Amino acid sequence: MIEAHGLTKRYGPKTAVDGISFTVRPGTVTGFLGPNGAGKSTTMRMIMGLDRPTAGSVTVNGKPYAQHRSPLTEVGALLEAKAVHTGRTAYNHLRALAATHGIPASRVGEVIEMTGLQAVAKKRVGGFSLGMGQRLGIAVALLGDPKTLILDEPVNGLDPEGVLWVRNLARFLASEGRTVFLSSHLMSEVAQTADRVLVIGRGKILADASVQEFVDGSSTKSVTVRSPQAAQLVELVQRDGVVVTSSEPGLLSVTGTDAASIGEAAAANGIVLHELTPVTSTLEQAYMELTAESVEYHATGAPDGAALPDGAATPAPTSTEGAAR
Amino acid sequence: MSAAAALPQSSAQGTLPASQYHVTFGHAVMSEWVKFRTLRSTMWTLGATFVVLVGLAALVAGTTGSPDAGPNFSDADIATTPLVAGTGFGQLVLAVLGALTITGEYSTGMIRSTFSAVPTRTPALIAKAVVVVVASFVVALVATVVAVAIVTPIFSGKPWALDLGNQDILRVVIGVPLYLAATALLALAFGILIRSSAGAIFAVIGLVLVVGPILANIPVHWLNNIADYLPSQAGQNLLTINPTQGPAPWIGFLVMAAWSVGLFAIGTIIAKNRDA
């Protein structure tokens, strides 16, 4: 259980996390979703007592993290791959961290096996790939067999097999009654793993809901219509609240009404339809819609939707937060 | 990685009863000891310290002919010269070791793992200090004992025989490891304060090799007095048979220790309160 109350972090004039409050419950996987720079990592570092909140507070399992006598058995965290001395082997890194709690070497062997690191455990971490570093980070998180897991971008750098493994692991740990809080900037990842989503943008919570509620709550439900008499059909369905857009001749995207009424209107007027498809919005669309105005860095001149993923960012901060809404 | 897709069948719930494991100072020291001995830089710096202390002692003792002792240069001075010959270089090497112990964690991000495991931070930092000080002291002590074993037969029968029954000579023998351990702690303290390896090493070496000698050589009396109480200058009086200026030998060492411990305490308070 993680509880935040008015949690705020400012770096000079810049507010990274802006008075957020939320609860992450045990027995579920909660996805922490937001564009890069939205405040996810800062929030997670504050939960772990690494960064000091400017205001507000956050507790894990009822206490601030630093006040637990046995922090590693309360919370296991993957805060960033390679928070590891590059000159030390994976095994010795785990041994050193286990030693802080008197956790025996046998447990170190267990987590190495669980994360599939046997082959590289005696190699120095400096030579690890991103994926191996990520597995080592997860091994550290599991070391104390914690009640709560905090995983910051756990699938970064993993191959498809590794991604599947993290997904199954997160679900499995939650099914054991643990609290699993994982961040991602990829909606699709969270959609396949999480029960709940916490969406953050520009340091503010934009949504806190179950994955289903989040999709249902989204306003983009449209109907794709293909007709040789498109222009005629537009006149028929057009009324208040109905928006019709067209990206190519004969193809319409209609929002504000449903497929049944479009079909009935077409039949009543003898209009030929080649396609009539209700389009339910995906989680990805709901997310893009929600965070569109809160994306920290917009790629200029890129096609719609290309602004979110890693690397597409041009450092051109938008200055008017939410003003476009 | 073939086991990748396998679910952790026993996620070890039950294999680790939570209440059994917690952070204690002893555990923190064990953890820091594991970290310390599992880095190559540790072995290189401690090894170099040993070689320099023993090697220079043998070299200096072997080439000591019939020294032309000045008015302030007693037989006891001649006897201990080989033992302190390696401290100049040894202090630089141990300063690097002390600084790297913490700056290596800041530069790699390891510090976040350390402070996640020991979130109150102070025990982890004190444990680091204990490990650095004890390891430096032990290695320097063993090296000095070996040096004594090498120098004693070479100087025996000479007026400047290495006589451990002489209080001042014995004080120097114990003083070498104490001085070097205090230097390592001073460097650790700078490392905590500055966080960058280059910055911390530069600060310590600058203080020891540049600031002290400059202040000591400016012909202004009160500046010379300040120089006498800088950590390295004060501490070196412990290694001198008859210090002609500055504090008495043991007072000098206490001054140096106060610098090291004081800066370490300030660093710990700052590190405890700043974002990792």
Q: What's chain A's average pLDDT?
A: 86
The model's pLDDT over A169-186, given as tens digits with 9 standing for 90+, comes to 999 999 999 999 999 988
- Per-residue confidence (pLDDT) for residue A118, from 0 to 100: 96
- Per-residue confidence (pLDDT) for residue A308, from 0 to 100: 40
- Chain A residues with CB-CB distance to B34 below 8 A: 92, 95-96, 99
- Per-residue confidence (pLDDT) for residue A281, from 0 to 100: 66
The model's pLDDT over A8-52, given as tens digits with 9 standing for 90+, comes to 999 999 999 999 999 999 999 999 998 888 899 999 999 999 999
How far apart CA A125 and CA A114 sit, in angstroms, is 18
Does the pLDDT at position B12 exceed 90? no
Confidence category of residue B17, pLDDT binned at 50, 70, 90: low
* Integer CA distances (angstroms), B8 to A77, A111, A114, in order: 17, 9, 5
How far apart CA A102 and CA B19 sit, in angstroms, is 11
Q: Point out the residue among A93, A114, A165 whose CB comes nearest to the CB of B5.
A: A165
- Per-residue confidence (pLDDT) for residue A151, from 0 to 100: 96
Domain positions in chain A: 2-216, 222-279
Torsion angles phi and psi, residue A273, rounded to 5: -110, 130
Distance from CA of B114 to the nearest CA of A (A): 7
How far apart CA A147 and CA A65 sit, in angstroms, is 13
Helix (H, G, I), strand (E, B) or coil at A140: helix
The residue among A84 and A236 whose pLDDT is bigger is A84
Fold for the domain defined by A222-279: Alpha-Beta Plaits (3.30.70)
Distance from CA of B131 to the nearest CA of A (A): 14
A86 touches chain B (CB under 8 A): yes
| CB–CB contact B113 A65 (8 Å) | no
Torsion angles phi and psi, residue A24, rounded to 5: -110, 120
B112 touches chain A (CB under 8 A): yes
Does the pLDDT at position A317 exceed 90? no
Torsion over CA of B253, B256, B260 and B263, rounded to 10 degrees? 150
The model's pLDDT over B177-228, given as tens digits with 9 standing for 90+, comes to 999 999 999 999 999 999 999 999 999 999 998 998 898 888 888 888 899 9
Q: Point out the residue among A50, A86, A172 whose CB comes nearest to the CB of B11.
A: A172
- Provide the token pair at B243: 């210090």
| CB–CB contact B105 A86 (8 Å) | no
How far apart CA A231 and CA B261 sit, in angstroms, is 84
- Nearest residue to A296 via CA among A310, A316, A312: A316
| Side-by-side strand order, sheet with A75-78 | A75-78, A148-152, A179-184, A29-33, A196-201, A204-210
The model's pLDDT over A43-68, given as tens digits with 9 standing for 90+, comes to 999 999 999 999 999 999 999 999 99
The model's pLDDT over A152-173, given as tens digits with 9 standing for 90+, comes to 999 988 999 999 999 999 999 9
* Surface of A (148-167) touching B: CB under 8 A: 161-162, 164-165
For range B268-275, the mean pLDDT: 96
How far apart CA B22 and CA B237 sit, in angstroms, is 44
Class of domain A2-216: alpha beta
- Per-residue confidence (pLDDT) for residue A219, from 0 to 100: 52
Distance from CA of B84 to the nearest CA of A (A): 33
**Single-letter amino acid, residue B88:** G
| CB–CB contact A162 B4 (8 Å) | yes
- Chain A residues with CB-CB distance to B8 below 8 A: 114, 142, 169, 172
| Side-by-side strand order, sheet with A275-279 | A243-248, A251-255, A222-226, A275-279
- Per-residue confidence (pLDDT) for residue A298, from 0 to 100: 58
The model carries a pTM of 0.83
Domain positions in chain B: 26-61+73-273
Does the pLDDT at position A318 exceed 60? no
| CB–CB contact B273 A147 (8 Å) | no
How far apart CA B117 and CA A98 sit, in angstroms, is 8
Q: Residues of chain A with pLDDT > 90: what percent?
A: 59
Q: Residues of chain A with pLDDT > 70: what percent?
A: 86
| CB–CB contact B1 A119 (8 Å) | yes
A82 touches chain B (CB under 8 A): yes
Q: What's chain B's average pLDDT?
A: 91
Interface confidence, given as ipTM, is 0.90
The model's pLDDT over A235-255, given as tens digits with 9 standing for 90+, comes to 888 877 788 888 888 888 888
